[in-house]
Amino acid sequence: MRALLLPLLLSLTASVPPNVPAVGTLFKGKVLNGMKGDSLSFVLAPDGKTVSNVTFTGYWPCDGKLEQQRAAGPAKGTFAVSGGTISGRLCEPPNGGATAWCFSLSG
């Protein structure tokens, strides 16, 4: 009985865990052409083809005055990266509208 149990236990412990997706690289930086303390962060995918989790923290002009945004950015979606250049536009809600927040990145 022990002879049969040992190979079974070895096969269970030697199994390979399921593939875990690679984690992207988080980048954080200051916004140089904005207000003092403004910052931008994003995650570059491991394959270098998309950027996600874009977050702006700082002051944003809105309706003629400055409003402080603690973490503004699209909740879903990615921006395309090609040849080291990013470009794209994401809106929430996706169909836009008068009250939509749209985020455009290029450069």
Tokens 């052409």 label which residue?
A: 33
Rounded-to-integer distance, Cα 61 and Cα 71, Å: 15
Which one is predicted more confidently, 59 or 3?
59
Task: Quick: pLDDT tens for 51-106.
Answer: 999 888 888 888 888 888 777 788 788 999 999 898 898 888 887 788 888 888 88
Output 45 or 23, whichever has higher pLDDT: 45
Number of other CB atoms surrounding residue 72 within 10 Å: 15
pTM score, two decimals?
0.68
Q: How do 85-92 and 101-106 pair as beta strands?
A: antiparallel
Residue spans per domain, the chain: 22-106
DSSP per position, 9-56: HHHHHTPPPPPPPPP-EEEEEE-TTSSTT-EEEEEE-TTSSEEEEEEE
Residue 7 has pLDDT above 50, yes or no: no
